Structure 1
Amino acid sequence: MDPTNMDIDEQQQGYKWEVAYAEGLNLRDVLTEDEGGSIEKAVKRLVAEAKRQRRLVDRPSKVRLGIMRYIYIVIDCSLAMLDRALYPNRLAVTINILNKFLDKFFEQNPISQIGIILAKDKRAERLLPLTSNPSLIKESLSEINGTHCVGEFSLYNSLDRAFKGLQDLPSHTSREILLIMASLSTIDAELKRKGIRCSVIGLSAELYVCRKLCATTSGRYDVILDESHFEIILNDQINPPVVKKGMATNVVKMGFPKRSKIELPSFCVCHQADPIAPRDPESTDRAYFCPQCDARYCSVPIECRICGLTLLTAPQLARAHQNLTPLLAFAEVNLPQGDCYACRKKLEEKAYSCKKCNSLFCLDCDLILHESLQICPACH
């Protein structure tokens, strides 16, 4: 073969990494312009398809899941977060969607904990340590505004800060880092050795270093299309991850405290000299007493700071256990006839059929059953 022709062919095709990059993007499929030259309809179509596919995929069953999760959410607070690609800006949309996410997360993961780290000006600072109190997390998020966004984002420092907060936690728990970022720096291989799972949600373009980070730590990497797509991707983090083979297995001792009403003023462990709740210094009139050391707490679940016992209620433990036996995805049915089994609303274009009993449900009921109840009312 003529080497001159080979050079011409290579010049026409470009570098191999360019070809792979272009194939991964599928630009022709994604950016389909309408008659006015806009791609807005194409983006909406992709988001709708993502929602549909999410409903049709079965969650893993009969596998070991990490239902005791410790997650640090790292929020990029560099100047890139003030970009108006999302209205009014990336930071405001991120805070709004995170608040919605927290309610759904703790409903399905009541014995898990979340902490917040802010990354800005090439540094990373912990805004809130790990806690299972969603109200406290929301209060901390409400204090973040545009004045916090300064300098550049350092991926390495962010991962290092989260790693230090997770490395000493028990190995039988699921330790995770979720980064919401609009820029990048470098990556740390120590995370893989410690079994810490990293996931990244990109607010701008896809970055190879982030994809490599997620692949190395068995995490997930997504780049958002718009605000609705952002919410879908973040909600995918609600379900507990599958635990790797060889991970430590330990029996976790738990206590079920009895709820009591407090009539006389008294101190509780969760508010007395609490560094993570300085804005809420007063105890409530309800109390949960640790069955092992009798320490008082205002809410559960929580880890007793005196004896280390995990305190929670039976319904919360049952809710966490539901993740081990998820409801199978319903099959999509076109042009159904009849009414929704749950709400009795007349079915129109599409419905969703239980694979066991063949009962039909509307879209709204399908979402409630799979995202909250985790049971088919017709089968039970």
Structure 2
Amino acid sequence: MSDSDGSYNEASSPESEEVSQLRSSSSGGGMNTRSTRRSNAELRSTTGGGYIWEDSIQRPWDIVQEDEGGSLATAIADLVQSNKRKRLFYEQTPLQRGIIRHLILVLDLSSAMADKDMRPSRYQLSLQYAVQFVNEYFEQNPISQLGVIGMKDGIAHLISQLGGNPAEHITAIQALRKDEPAGVPSLQNALEMARGALYHVPSHGTKEVVIIFGALLSCDPGDIHKTILTLKTERIRVRVVGLAAQVAVCKELCKQTNDGDFLSTYGVILNEQHFKELLLSACTPPASTKTEKSAKGKSASELMRMGFPSRIVETTPSFCACHTRLLKGGYLCPRCNVKVCSLPTECPACGLTLILSTHLARSYHHLMPLRNWYEVEWPEAKRSKASSCFGCHKPFAPVPPTISSSGSSTKIRISTTSSGSTATVSHQDKSTATHTSAAGPTGSTGRFRCPTCHRQFCIDCDLFAHEVLHNCPGCEATSPVSRRQNASSSSKAAAAAAPAFTTAPVQV
């Protein structure tokens, strides 16, 4: 066995004693034998057999355990429930963010994307997730713009120009399915093209670049570090999703363009689900940095013109100005009366941004996020009169008869620190929390309560309210007078229980 495999525990092999004897006889000394035996004994006490790097690996059959009936349904349900409960650590602190975003999506179309370590291949899966990213991006940022660039054969290709119509970007990305990945990527050419597309962005908009990078090299015509410094000077943020391994130039790129923060902007995927999570996390607008705040404070205030067109229904079809298609309906630009077929978009005649009032209202949920809901424990669930979810009317799990209604419920309060979101559990009766975890099959009631209206919801409605609706159905169903009273009482209770959050001013 070579020296590089010295961390292997030879005691686990049936031929270890013979190998040790052969080594001792060939070496001609007893010191080597004693040192080998001593190192093997140390490895037995530390690793328990096998390679050292194997200790961090958990086999899936060790994680997922069967129940008494030999079924995996309970284990799978617990895994699904644990994935849903990750929402408890979502960011809820109000931050200063730019909701008018200008983002360039860079796709790696090189030969490295032909690998089949992800099904059906890196190339096809990246295009599939890129389409989902475009839909989610405009769903959360309806008044923003997006463009797509591809890296192939050492040059950068413009796939779709910067615009606010998601249908055009999706059509351009889906047209790439017919092509095959080839050549090598060029990060410098892609960054220079993205910088040119974002050069005329006004000061009130953010400039961002998201790169899906599957290769381990970059064929650049010049010094890419000069390009990185130019991006830093022009305040263009770069985010990289790596498909193979961490690349030093990508790490330096994210570190320089994000004020030294590369941990949250550069990630290497673990599997397909992690790839989707890293990519879709770029849909949330980034928080404004101190450099951007000072630059915006020095620059003069600018106003952005927007048009809110009215929908028309025609008896005879007419052509739209955006796609030249015959339609019997559409929207008329309030400035030049040009017909467009869908919103949000820019008027092809006068360049006015055309949106609906709902698009503008939906963009503010990033600035004022919905508060996280508390998890209801078993004693509180027994005292409560709610037997079904307020949102979907799905019945809750019955309370076990061994649960006592006396005792205080455990509340999970989400707080944000510089390192990320942490959960602080505050309770008055520790025995109640211990008894609660032992009572239920998984220790969770599956109930979540809004701190404002005190309505109880299931975990699916909790996810829908925080990820899609961004409003509490219980608060919206309450009258405005009682809503203000509940909000004032909740704010007083929160101020008495914990220190108030320091909120930054809202920047639009």
TM-score tier (shorter) = 0.7 to 0.9
What aligned pairs does 1:52-67 form with structure 2 within 5 A after superposition? 52-61=85-94, 63-67=95-99
Contact 1:269-1:305 at 8 Å conserved across structures: yes
Contact 1:56-1:332 at 8 Å conserved across structures: no
Distance 2:161 2:173 in 1: 13
Moved more, 74-83 or 99-108: 99-108
Per the alignment, residue 364 of structure 1 pairs with 460
What aligned pairs does 1:13-92 form with structure 2 within 5 A after superposition? 31-34=56-59, 52-61=85-94, 63-92=95-124
Distance 1:172 1:132 in 2: 16
Contact 1:172-1:247 at 8 Å conserved across structures: no
CA deviation profile, 1:296-322 (whole Å, cap 9, x unmatched): 222221222433322111111111123
- Aligned partner of 1:138 among 170, 175, 180: 170
SS for the counterpart of 1:367 is helix
Distance 1:228 1:35 in 2: 16
- Aligned partner of 2:469 among 358, 373, 379: 373
Change (3 A) 1:266 1:241: same
CA deviation profile, 1:239-285 (whole Å, cap 9, x unmatched): 222233124342212111111123445443313xxxxxxxxx42432
Q: 2:372 matched to 1:329?
A: yes
Change (3 A) 1:203 1:334: farther
SS for the counterpart of 1:204 is coil
Q: 2:314 matched to 1:262?
A: yes
Distance 1:66 1:30 in 2: 44
- Aligned partner of 1:302 among 345, 348, 368: 345
- Aligned partner of 2:241 among 201, 205, 208: 201
Per the alignment, residue 16 of structure 1 pairs with none
Change (3 A) 1:332 1:82: farther
- Shift in Å, 1:162: 0.9
- Shift in Å, 1:100: 2.4
SS for the counterpart of 1:143 is helix
Distance 2:282 2:93 in 1: 14
Contact 1:283-1:298 at 8 Å conserved across structures: no
- Shift in Å, 1:180: 0.5
Q: Which amino acid aligns with 2:357?
A: A
Distance 1:30 1:212 in 2: 31
Distance 1:195 1:84 in 2: 36
Distance 1:376 1:211 in 2: 39
- Give 5+ residue unaligned stretches, structure 2: 1-51, 65-77, 219-223, 382-386, 398-443, 477-508
Change (3 A) 1:57 1:36: closer
- Aligned partner of 2:294 among 240, 243, 246: 246
Alignment TM-score, normalising by the size of structure 1: 0.80
CA deviation profile, 1:73-108 (whole Å, cap 9, x unmatched): 100011111111111111111122222233222222
CA deviation profile, 1:127-167 (whole Å, cap 9, x unmatched): 11122222222221111137331111111111111111111
Distance 2:122 2:148 in 1: 17
Q: Which amino acid aligns with 1:236?
A: S
Moved more, 348-357 or 180-189: 348-357
Contact 2:317-2:329 at 8 Å conserved across structures: no
From the CA coordinates, give the structure whose radius of gyration is larger: 2
- Shift in Å, 1:379: 2.5
Distance 1:98 1:294 in 2: 34
- Aligned partner of 1:352 among 448, 465, 472: 448
Per the alignment, residue 203 of structure 2 pairs with 171
Change (3 A) 1:121 1:347: farther
SS for the counterpart of 1:236 is helix
Q: Percent identity?
A: 36
- Shift in Å, 1:176: 0.9
Change (3 A) 1:136 1:362: same
- Shift in Å, 1:28: 7.0
